[in-house]
Structure 1
Amino acid sequence: QRAAEEIVEEARPEQQEKEGGSLKPIRHRWLATMLRILRPGIAFAQVDINISTPAIRNLRASLTSRFGSLKGFYSRGSLGENKRGYVEIRDESGLGLKEKGDLRRLAGAENADRKALYLEILRANNLDTQFLSEVEKIFANNWKSKAVPGSWIQSDDDKWRRK
């Protein structure tokens, strides 16, 4: 949970600054907890937690750099955070043809990077992809908590609301 929070905080630095927080180096407690839950037979000391592979660092940088381009779409209500840990296009009304294309391209790139991040976390920690939905859920909650005001948020019961 904690590393997911910190990755999301890093990817959303403007939101972090508005909330008066500071960026912290990544910690691995959340992943250790998740690994203990998912692999109960392994003692904590035996778990080699790896969340800083070159691929993860590159994905984090990509997510962070893209946020400036996504922010306006979130604020306008064109883009939202779904319950599975991905962005979802909500409303394209009022957007010109170029803006619609930009929104679709950016949302596609964001979701591709998020999926790659989740899979790399599993790979780096020798977890099967059957645990992907758990990782997605952990990140979904963090993306939603750091969402830009005015953006759409999907709750666990599939209902959408504005933040």
Structure 2
Amino acid sequence: MRIFRNAMVFTTLFAVAACVTVNIYFPTQKVDQAAEKIVDQVYGIEQPDSEAPETKDDSSSLSRMFEVVADCFGPTAAYAQDATTVSNPAIRELKNQIAANHQQLKPYYDAGAVKIGTDGMLTIANTSGLSVAQQAELKRLVRADNSARNSLYSEVAKALGIAQSEVGKVKDIFAKHWRDKAPAAWLQ
């Protein structure tokens, strides 16, 4: 009888703990989707007009039942923010600024004067053949673009409810997209 009572107490405590457990996670998928969309727009890569709506297979009512039970009794996840799009006036302005910089930087990319580093930030690689005025303009553009990128990462984090201490993760995700979608000659 004592073992049964202890088992019941343990089971009750476990059930109560499961009800109040909250898993806070970094919304990697949302940041990844935002980064891909923004980088595509800056680079001028065509995007599909709309994604095909998800179709749900209702053939398995048993699996749906397990989902409902898990939702009721399992731990719940606290999402940073359930945003379907990551856009606000500040993000749009920064994206437009980076896109405008990109158009001005494109000849420098093509000439090998500027490269995209592993952190997704721009670096000046080779200024030979550039006049003093062109070198000054290149430095100004790189500085402005890197500043806008850092501000963009902070704004995306803010829009998704991500702590500012996690902006480095946002930057890493963007860096992957900046590099993956750029021609190899643009990479450092």
CA deviations 1:129-149 (Å, max 9, x no partner) are: 221111111111111122245
The CA distance in 2 between the partners of 1:62 and 1:41, in whole Å, is: 39
* Misfit runs of 4+, over 4 Å: 24-27
Please say if 1:3 is aligned against 2:34.
yes
TM-score scaled by length of structure 2: 0.64
Match of 2:99 in 1: 64
1:81-120 aligned at under 5 Å gives the runs 81-120=116-155
Count of residue pairs the alignment pairs up? 133
Please say if 1:128 is aligned against 2:160.
no
> Given residue 4 of structure 1, which amino acid in structure 2 is its aligned partner?
A
2:81 touches 2:161 (CA, 8 Å); kept in 1?
no
Q: Once the 2 structures are TM-superposed, how far is the Cα of residue 56 of structure 1 from its aligned partner? A: 0.4
Q: Once the 2 structures are TM-superposed, how far is the Cα of residue 81 of structure 1 from its aligned partner? A: 0.9
The CA distance in 2 between the partners of 1:86 and 1:41, in whole Å, is: 37
The CA distance in 1 between the partners of 2:132 and 2:50, in whole Å, is: 39
> Given residue 8 of structure 1, which amino acid in structure 2 is its aligned partner?
V
Whose helix fraction is larger, Structure 1's or Structure 2's? Answer: 2
For 1:150, what is the secondary structure of its paired residue?
helix
Please say if 1:73 is aligned against 2:108.
yes
The CA distance in 2 between the partners of 1:41 and 1:58, in whole Å, is: 36
Unaligned 5+ segments in structure 1 are 17-21, 28-39, 154-163
For 2:115, what is the secondary structure of its paired residue?
strand
Unaligned 5+ segments in structure 2 are 1-31, 52-74
CA deviations 1:110-142 (Å, max 9, x no partner) are: 001100100001112221122111111111111
1:75 touches 1:149 (CA, 8 Å); kept in 2?
no
Identity within the alignment, %? 30
Question: Measured at CA, do residues 83 and 43 of structure 1 come closer, stay the same or move farther in structure 2, by a change above 3 Å?
Answer: same
The CA distance in 2 between the partners of 1:70 and 1:115, in whole Å, is: 18
1:77 touches 1:152 (CA, 8 Å); kept in 2?
no
The CA distance in 1 between the partners of 2:148 and 2:136, in whole Å, is: 18
2:115 touches 2:186 (CA, 8 Å); kept in 1?
yes
Question: Measured at CA, do residues 68 and 148 of structure 1 come closer, stay the same or move farther in structure 2, by a change above 3 Å?
Answer: farther
Tell which structure's C-alpha radius of gyration is larger: 2
TM-score scaled by length of structure 1: 0.73
Match of 1:23 in 2: 47
The CA distance in 2 between the partners of 1:79 and 1:102, in whole Å, is: 12
Question: Measured at CA, do residues 132 and 67 of structure 1 come closer, stay the same or move farther in structure 2, by a change above 3 Å?
Answer: same
